[in-house]
A and B are shown apart, each in its own frame.
Chain A
Amino acid sequence: MILNRTTLKASLDTQNCKTYIFIADRGESDTGNMSGKPKLHYFNGRGRMEPIRWLLAAAGVEFDECFIEKKEDLTKLQNDGSLLFQQVPMVEIDGMKLVQTRAIMNYIATKYNLCGKDLKERALIDMYVEGTTDLMGMIMYLPFQPADTKEKNLALIIERATTRYFPVYEKALKDHGQDYLVGNKLSWADVHLLEAILMAEECKPDVLSAFPLLQAFKGRISNIPTIKKFLQPGSQRKPPTDEKFVAVVRKIFNI
């Protein structure tokens, strides 16, 4: 008899064994997370998972990825009970199946000391991250919007980036003159801002032209070894969202 979770359980049941055995709850989609590394479940593209990849990479944490390529892959995860609210991203980490981007990011940032030294620094980091999240959210949705609204939405993104968001971070760096946004130490806010800058530059290459401190910031943060590595070809960083990715997502969700 092949001994696996199913046969073991069946065997115990037939013997009327009310033995409580702790069997790690593994969905069928789990190909064996024995490496101990976090395992990311998402499409093979940026979307909502990209900031998580950035944060893990910046923290120097290696991770595995399981890509959803067709509807059945997603349905399987949903039916397994792996997705608390039926949605991805999902990250398997430290025995948990974490969902909800912010919850995942909070966990990683705290675990790897990227969220400030006290409640007030954390509050500042949270505010900054929410700002860059709003900006990146606009950019993320752009490829999914109807063609006739793209130009207008792109203009709105650039307008928001240059009049609402980037001025805030430029000023923060100017006011304290330090290398990092909060507490003179690398935090989640810095990683997120770099990601937002690079995404905005993909929309408009000279978007930082009026922000000298952000230009310097970009250079500095890009040179941090873990981040430098993530920015090199062959890393797990995903390319800009293209038609192919849009097609995959549309197909899986029937849109």
Chain B
Amino acid sequence: MSGKPRLTYLNGRGRMEPIRWLLAAAGVEFEEVYLETKEQYDKLIKDGSLLFQQVPLVEIDGMKMVQTRAIMSYIAGKYNLYGKDLKERALIDMYVEGISDLMQMILMFPFSPPDAKEKNLESIKERATNRYFPVFEKVLKQHGQDFLVGNKFSWADVQLMEAILAVEEKVPAVLSGFPQLQVFKTKMSNMPTIKKFLQPGSPRKPPPDAHYVETVLKVRCHTSYVSRSVETLFPAVPEAGQKTFPKCKERAEGHRALTRMGCYTGCSQ
């Protein structure tokens, strides 16, 4: 009964990590409950704690909130990280959604079939450097301010910082063509709440490893996001100038590979 928000998820990044980042950036302490077995997950469902039978779950202000975006919107709204008016909010939403698309690729990466890993890594690098990072580089350059929106720290800044670090873990020199983002990264790292979150011993989780992947598949609580995975492994929108890209047949292969891995949980099969 500490009054602190309580997070229920696996002991790893996954879909909960952006929520941890946002709470930490807002200076909000929180507790965590880790799912390690299917039985724990089944119990949560039986208890009626999970509105759509999925985690993340965040207990906050008397509510049992699910759905990452709903949770993040609530936290951002509550802690004044959502802009000052409707238009700033729209900008923040657009930026956050774009970053979220990039993060989705990273989220799914550990679940790629081994023979697709190299290609998917290349996709992440390509999207980061050609689609997403240029947008934020330009935004920062154009207004010359420290933060993405309204000259004030917001959800968008936190999310971008998280994405930069996540991509750098996979592609270390990814910011080499983005001087503004390099400065941004340094500034964000030095903000007291973020600095604290980046230190060892914080609730920040390490990159996913084989054990994490195993736990996800064992607990079988990741239905919706895994079933969307094919769309992210094989991006549906080509870059301007890109002539062709993964065919439908490859998508089917992706589906089949994931099915073999047992990634389509919750189905009657």
**Residue among A110, A129, A130 having the largest count of chain B Cβ atoms under 10 Å:** A130
Pair B240/A78 contact, Cβ less than 8 Å:
yes
Question: In this assembly, does A7 line the interface, its C-beta being within 8 Å of a C-beta of chain B?
Answer: no
CB contacts under 8 Å to B, within A109-138, are: 110-111, 119-120, 122-123, 126-127, 129-131, 134, 137-138
Question: In this assembly, does A180 line the interface, its C-beta being within 8 Å of a C-beta of chain B?
Answer: no
| Chain A residues, Cβ within 8 Å of B240 | 75, 78-79, 86
CB contacts under 8 Å to B, within A169-212, are: none
Question: In this assembly, does A84 line the interface, its C-beta being within 8 Å of a C-beta of chain B?
Answer: yes
Q: Tell which of A30-38, A57-65, A98-106, A235-243 binds the partner.
A: A98-106
Pair B231/A102 contact, Cβ less than 8 Å:
no
Q: Known A126-B73, A127-B65, A253-B237; judge A106-B248 contact (CB<8 A).
A: no
User: Bound state CA distance, A145 and B230, in angstroms?
Assistant: 11
**B231 in complex: contacting residue of A87, A141, A156, CB < 8 Å:** A141
Question: In this assembly, does B93 line the interface, its C-beta being within 8 Å of a C-beta of chain A?
Answer: yes
For residue B70, which residue of chain A has the nearest CB? Answer: A126
Pair B78/A127 contact, Cβ less than 8 Å:
no
The A interface is mostly helix, strand or loop, or mixed, namely helix
Apart from A131-B67, A148-B252: 20 A-B pairs, beta carbons within 8 A: A75-B240, A86-B239, A96-B87, A102-B97, A103-B97, A106-B89, A107-B89, A122-B77, A123-B65, A130-B70, A134-B224, A138-B227, A146-B255, A156-B267, A159-B268, A164-B52, A253-B238, A253-B245, A254-B238, A254-B245
Q: List 7 A-B contacts (CB under 8 A).
A: A78-B240, A98-B94, A103-B97, A129-B70, A138-B227, A156-B267, A168-B51
- Residue positions of A touching B, CB distance < 8 A: 75, 78-79, 84-87, 94, 96, 98-103, 106-107, 110-111, 119-120, 122-123, 126-127, 129-131, 134, 137-138, 141, 144-146, 148-149, 152, 155-156, 159, 164-165, 168, 250, 253-255
- Residue positions of B touching A, CB distance < 8 A: 51-53, 61, 63, 65-67, 69-70, 73-74, 77-78, 86-87, 89-90, 93-94, 96-98, 101, 131-132, 135, 224, 227-228, 231, 236-240, 243-249, 251-252, 255, 267-269
